Every structure is written in C-alpha cells, then in structure tokens.
C-alpha cells in the first residue's frame, strides 16, 4: 500500500498532497493535516531533536489498520505518511490526508486519523533537549479525543 508509508528520511508534505490529489481524481474535497516537530518542549526549553522509535512489524501494521478503518468508516481515500528515527525541529512528523466526495467526510476522516495515530500508532516518542531526554506519552486529552470515535 503506497498510500501508507513509514519514512526514515524527511518527506515533503506538499508532494504527498499532490499525490493524493492525483490519486483521488473525482473527489469533491481533500483535507490534510501535517504534524511538525516543535522547537520547544512543554517546559519551553528548546528541543534538539525528536526521536521516534518504531517496531519492525507492528508500526506499519498499526498505520495500515488505522488508515483502512478511516477509509471504510468515512468512505474516503486516505494517505498517511509517518516519520521515524531522528527528527529535527521544524521537520514534518506526519501527513494525514483524506479525499471525499463532500467536505464533511474528509474533515472527519482526517480528525479520526490523527486521534488514532496519536494514541494507537506503534511509536515511542522521545524529546531530546540540552537538559536531558523525556519520553512523551499520550495525554488524557489525547485519549479523550480518541474516545469520541467509539
């Protein structure tokens, strides 16, 4: 499935949107979300890099499962690209796009994709700063956002 990819190197979100637009010819609307590595952590301290550890099999499997559910639940075409490894501040972490006949399904599918990727995609996320490293887990808000779709 070329529309769900794990990337070790930086990727271009505009190119991903372009691919989705070409692939979804006939769609009435496309919604895309790009997650970007923040330059600062929760405390405001500068982040030197984000490290996303992945699992050799389960990470891509989880991404495919989430993308497949979004496609069938909302009747959309989806494209999901996720970085792993070392990510510099300002670099894209994730692209989640949904193309649909009408806008509502595309907005909802993109929202759904991100709520599930945040809490269920198999990654372990660490922020490295000059003062030390912190493992980042989903917040209660992230889990509450995920439950909206149950």
Note the residues at the interface with another protein (CB under 8 A): 35, 52-53, 55, 57-58, 61-63, 82, 93-94, 114, 117-126, 135-138, 142
Task: Report the residue number, 45 or 136, with the smaller CB distance to another protein.
Answer: 136
Smallest separation, CB 103 to another protein (Å): 22
* Nearer to another protein among residue 11 and residue 27 (C-beta): 11
CA separation for the pair 113, 67 (Å, rounded): 7
* Shortest distance, position 35 Cβ to another protein, whole Å: 5
CA distances from 2 to 30, 143, 144 (A): 18, 28, 31
Q: Which of 103, 96, 105 is nearest to 76 (CA)?
A: 105
> How far is Cα 139 from Cα 145, in angstroms, rounded to an integer?
10
As a whole number of angstroms, the distance between CA 22 and CA 37 comes to: 27
Closer by beta carbon to another protein, 20 or else 27: 20
Smallest gap, in angstroms, from Cβ of residue 69 to another protein? 15
């Amino acid at each position: 499935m070329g529309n769900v990819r794990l990337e070790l190197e930086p990727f271009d979100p505009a190119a991903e949107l372009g691919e989705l637009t070409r692939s979804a010819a006939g769609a009435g609307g496309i919604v895309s979300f790009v997650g970007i590595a923040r330059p600062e952590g929760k405390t405001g301290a500068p982040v030197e890099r984000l490290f996303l550890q992945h699992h050799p099999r389960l990470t891509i499997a989880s991404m495919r499962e989430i993308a497949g559910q979004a496609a069938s639940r909302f009747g959309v075409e989806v494209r999901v690209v996720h970085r792993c490894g070392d990510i510099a501040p300002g670099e894209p972490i994730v692209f989640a796009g949904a193309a649909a006949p009408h806008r509502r399904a595309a907005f909802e599918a993109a929202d759904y994709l991100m709520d599930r990727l945040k809490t269920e995609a198999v990654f372990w996320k660490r922020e490295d700063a000059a003062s030390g490293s912190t493992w980042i887990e989903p917040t209660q808000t992230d889990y509450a956002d995920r439950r909206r779709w149950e």
